[in-house]
């Protein structure tokens, strides 16, 4: 009986050791398979990221090819329709065309370059309106801001808001006006444009054309969670306000 007891005891020990060894072997195998699975997932995620990035680049290039000729046409029409002011507009026009031809193909420009372009574009559009028209422009640009000359601003973002204000303003209304506010402070860019528009023009703005759609697309693809674009219409006054946290976007670019 005692011999049988020891035999059963040894047998149970053998079974326990075998079970532990078996579980360790299975655990090591599963760990290795899980590691390979995670590596494959990481490779797939990286491949998807590269494909998505390239798709965004292609979409942005496609948008740019449509935007630039449209902008050229509007600018040249403005100058042509007011020949008596052409001479004084040539300098601003040259700045705008240089920017479109040479800088707009860059992925990023500095806020300084985009703001100079926006101000020149405003001056060109102003030749379309009566000198007595209520036109308000205010700029609060902190040139010592540490992002002022950094290449972090997508070119031509200011075009849509400026051109829509001039295109859809009811210049015949007694209380008509255009107000443009540009600001760069504490690493945040803000552009607020308001104008008096007829009901018809307000509805057209809400339906929007290519320019408005391309602006929304570019902002979403480039700045993602670092921007806000708010549009509102009340009592015939249309307001669009764009805010971009260039500081946080710049930090992300540097450390990613």
Could you read off the pLDDT of 49-96 as tens digits, one per residue? 665 665 566 555 555 545 555 666 666 666 655 555 555 566 677 777
pLDDT band, residue 215 (cuts 50/70/90): confident
Mean pLDDT, to the nearest integer, of 129-135?
Answer: 84
> Under a CB-based contact definition with an 8 Å cutoff, are residues 211 and 162 in contact?
no
Q: Where residue 181 sits, what CATH number does that domain have?
A: 3.30.565.10
**Contacts of 92 by beta carbon, 8 Å cutoff, 6+ apart:** 120, 121, 123, 124
pLDDT of residue 191: 97
Judge whether 53 lies within some domain. no
Judge whether 132 lies within some domain. yes
Judge whether 213 lies within some domain. yes
pLDDT digits (tens, 9 = 90+) for 106-121: 889 999 999 999 998 8
pLDDT of residue 254: 86
> Under a CB-based contact definition with an 8 Å cutoff, are residues 208 and 233 in contact?
no
Judge whether 95 lies within some domain. yes
Which residue range(s) make up the domain with 244?
70-255
Judge whether 65 lies within some domain. no
Judge whether 59 lies within some domain. no
Judge whether 56 lies within some domain. no
pLDDT digits (tens, 9 = 90+) for 13-52: 556 555 565 565 656 665 566 666 566 666 656 665 665 6
CA of 18: how far to CAs of 4, 5, 25, 127, 149, in Å? 21, 20, 10, 91, 69
Judge whether 38 lies within some domain. no
pLDDT of residue 174: 83
Tally of domains within the chain: 1
């Amino acid at each position: 009986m005692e011999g049988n007891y020891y035999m059963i005891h040894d047998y149970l020990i053998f079974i326990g050791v075998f079970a532990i060894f078996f579980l360790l072997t299975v655990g090591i195998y599963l760990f290795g398979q899980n590691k390979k699975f995670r590596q494959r997932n990481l490779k797939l995620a990286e491949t998807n990221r590269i494909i998505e990035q390239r798709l965004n680049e292609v979409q942005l290039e496609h948008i740019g090819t449509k935007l630039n000729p449209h902008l050229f046409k509007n600018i040249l029409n403005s100058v042509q329709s007011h020949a008596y002011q052409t001479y004084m507009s040539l300098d601003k026009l040259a700045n705008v065309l240089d920017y479109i031809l040479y800088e707009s193909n860059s992925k990023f420009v500095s806020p300084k370059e985009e703001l100079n372009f926006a101000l020149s574009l405003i001056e060109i559009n102003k030749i379309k309106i009566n000198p007595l028209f209520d036109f308000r422009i205010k700029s609060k640009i902190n040139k010592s801001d540490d992002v002022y000359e950094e290449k972090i601003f997508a070119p031509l973002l200011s075009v849509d808001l400026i051109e829509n204000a001039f295109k859809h303003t009811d210049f015949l209304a007694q209380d008509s006006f255009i107000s443009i506010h540009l600001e760069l402070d504490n690493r945040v860019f803000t552009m607020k444009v308001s104008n008096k528009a007829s009901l018809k023009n307000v509805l057209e703005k809400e339906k929007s054309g290519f320019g408005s759609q391309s602006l929304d697309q570019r902002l979403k693809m480039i700045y993602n969670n670092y921007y806000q674009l708010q549009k509102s219409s009340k009592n015939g006054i249309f307001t669009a306000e764009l805010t971009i946290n260039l500081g946080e976007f710049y930090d992300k670019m540097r450390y990613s």
